[in-house]
Structure 1
Amino acid sequence: MNSLEKISFGGGCHWCTEAVFQALSGVRNVRQGFIRSTSPDDSWSEAVEVDFSPEEISLSDLLTVHLATHASTSRHSMRDKYRSAIYTISPEQSAMVTTELDRISAATDNEFVTRVLPHHGFKFSETRFHNYYATDPERPFCRTYIDSKMAKLQTQFSRIMKA
């Protein structure tokens, strides 16, 4: 059996982020909720925890998808609630993510606002919101905000999407 690794992502709303990562091959579990880091980023921010098989999907692919499916270059006024972040589990993972983020930034000529932060706490969102897109993709919110992210996955990342 493949070993699983954990990493967490914050960007837009956790309903959107959950749907994006649930669609990827090699992702085994996505927990939707709120994550905090250390001060000054210790307020709860919408995010997801992701368990993935590195034998099936690379950390680079996860990061690339994350950066492409939320406003990763925008310093908008809602960044406290929707922090653009990659929450890492260990100093080693943080170093790997930072190196990869720098590589992706140079390759795409983008200046990302996404920060690499230590994961310092998680709490689930309300159960009624779990699997939000998967349980009813016809909801107005899903059609307005999530469908475009799913379409982007299909056109740019179909090789790593679940069948």
Structure 2
Amino acid sequence: MAIETATLGGGCFWCLEAVYQELKGVQHVESGYTGGELANPTYEQVCEGRTGHAEVVQVTFDPDVVSYREILEIFFTIHDPTTLNRQGNDVGTQYRSAIYYHTPQQQDMARHVVAEMANVWDAPIVTELNPLGPYYKAEDYHQDYFRQHPMQGYCAFVVAPKVAKFRKVFSEKLNAGA
């Protein structure tokens, strides 16, 4: 079985993590940071907005079950790729919309999907498309955050609606346990 990894930034990593954890074919989702200059940044440093990092998730998946294209289609459904450096009330470069490709094939597919999505959204897409550089796993308390804290305010009012939208739009792609 060939396993692939997608690295995506679309606002707070808790939102993306919660959705991709429920996707059929996904083996693992990890929250982290990439796209910046500082080695081993902390959450606090990234939140200050001076490291250049984006909050991202790394989605490890089985392409025989879910394709990279499908991963990207979901990505463009669960966040707003037209707002520069923000998702809702989350504002800063760490919340930018970004696809960090691992291979030339991922780069080509991402370009293709971004071009298609330009016809879907009313405003220009500002999603960055960059090769994956150094990636740093976020602190342990950020991992599996929504599952551990579903009633926390941000989770209840921001993450839960994104998960509900994913479940509704992509119901046929849910894990059996979701």
TM-score, normalised on structure 1?
A: 0.88
Q: Give, in whole Å, the separation in 1 of the partners of 2:104 and 2:175.
A: 30
How many residues were matched structurally? 158
Instruction: Say which SS state the counterpart of residue 126 (structure 2) adopts.
Output: coil
Contact 1:37 1:117 in 2 (8 A): no
Q: How does 1:75-154 map to 2 (within 5 A)?
A: 75-76=84-85, 78-106=91-119, 108-110=120-122, 111-154=124-167
Is the Cα contact below 8 Å between 2:85 and 2:97 reproduced in 1?
Answer: no
2:3 aligns with 4
Counterpart of 2:32 in structure 1: which amino acid? G
* Post-superposition CA distance 1:74-122 (Å, at most 9, x none): 125635111201110122321121112212333x255321121110011
Letter in 2 for 1:124: K
Q: 2:164 aligned with 1:159, yes or no?
A: no
Give TM-score, length-normalised by structure 2.
0.81
Residue ranges of structure 2 left out of the alignment (5+ in a row): 38-50
- Shift of residue 126 of structure 1? 1.1
1:46 to 42, 46, 55: 55
- Structure 1's unaligned 5+ residue stretches are none
Q: Does 1:32 align with 2:26?
A: no
1-side partners of 2:36 and 2:107: how far apart?
A: 13
Quick one: structure 1 residues 76 and 118, their matched pair in 2 at CA, closer, same or farther if it must change by over 3 Å?
A: closer
Q: Is the 8 A contact 2:20 2:59 kept in 1?
A: yes
RMSD: 1.8
Contact 1:24–1:161 under 8 Å retained in 2: yes
Contact 2:84 2:97 in 1 (8 A): no
Deviations 1:19-76 (A, max 9, x none): 11111111111110111169xxx82110011111111112221111111111211125
The ranges of structure 1 where at least 4 consecutive aligned residues each deviate by more than 6 angstroms after the TM superposition are: none
Residue identity (%): 30
Query: Closer, same or farther in 2 for the Cα pair 1:96/1:158, shift >3 Å?
Result: same
